Amino acid sequence: MNEETLAEEKERKLEDIKKEAEERACPVQRSLYFVEEFLAGPMCGKCYPCSLGTYEAKLRLISIAQHLEGVNEKDLDALKRIASQMIVGSYCIKGRNTGKFIMDILTSSMDEFQQHLSGICPKKECISLIEYVINPDLCIMCGKCLEVCKYGAIIGEPKKPYLSGYSPFEIRQKRCTKCGECIKVCPVGAIEVITTQIEEPVSSK
């Protein structure tokens, strides 16, 4: 990144970042985007509540969005603590407003944050918590999804009118990046986004 690009990043306004963040439906993704963009641009890093707090908030939000091992209510409590400390202790208005953004979104969307702790993203935007699947009842086996997928994640053979016995198209989850290109080209809406329920480990007593 050259000096000119770095200067442009630093000049970004919180209002612009907030507007872009609010394009996301999921409150976890909204918060994560805001925090990452604040770290990359407007944050000056001159006070500990803001510089250290924002970085910790980013790590906590990533853990929640990806349902990493050990994520729990303590992560939400930590986000509240970070936001409160930024509101009170940040030297500049940018840090205080970032703390307020985090606190406001936690207050208004706590139910959805808690659902993420169970491995569920209600808005289906956290890619670690969703899967793309092909509905065999809707799929016409045209092959357009197969053509557009750059990752070889789709299995199937385009159907020819004079042959039968075709297996339904499938998406290999380990290769799928959830880029959404297949959804865009499917003419019948056969590709669906579903929430994957994370299986919690069974504790032995």
Pick the closest to residue 113 from 178, 53, 50, 67 (CA basis).
67
Q: Which amino acid is at 183?
A: I
Q: Which residue's structure tokens are 């357009």?
A: 144
Domain range holding 12?
3-117
User: Domain for residue 21, yes or no?
Assistant: yes
Q: How far apart are CA 145 and CA 154, in angstroms?
A: 7
Average confidence (pLDDT) over 80-101: 94
Residue 109's closest CA among 93, 99, 122, 90? 122
Query: What pLDDT, on the 0 to 100 scale, is given for residue 69?
Result: 93
pLDDT range class, residue 203, cuts 50, 70, 90: very low
CB-based contact 185:143 (threshold 8 Å)? no
**pTM to 2 decimals?**
0.81
Query: What pLDDT was estimated at residue 140?
Result: 93
Is residue 205 exposed (0-12), middle (13-18) or buried (19+ Cβ within 10 Å)? exposed
User: Are residues 11 and 110 located together in one domain of the fold?
Assistant: yes
Classified as helix, coil or strand, 155 is strand
Indicate the residue type of 112: E
Domain annotation covers residue 37: yes
- CATH number of domain containing 33: 1.20.1440
- Of the two residues 197 and 179, the one the predictor is more confident about is 179
Q: Decide if 106 is inside a domain.
A: yes
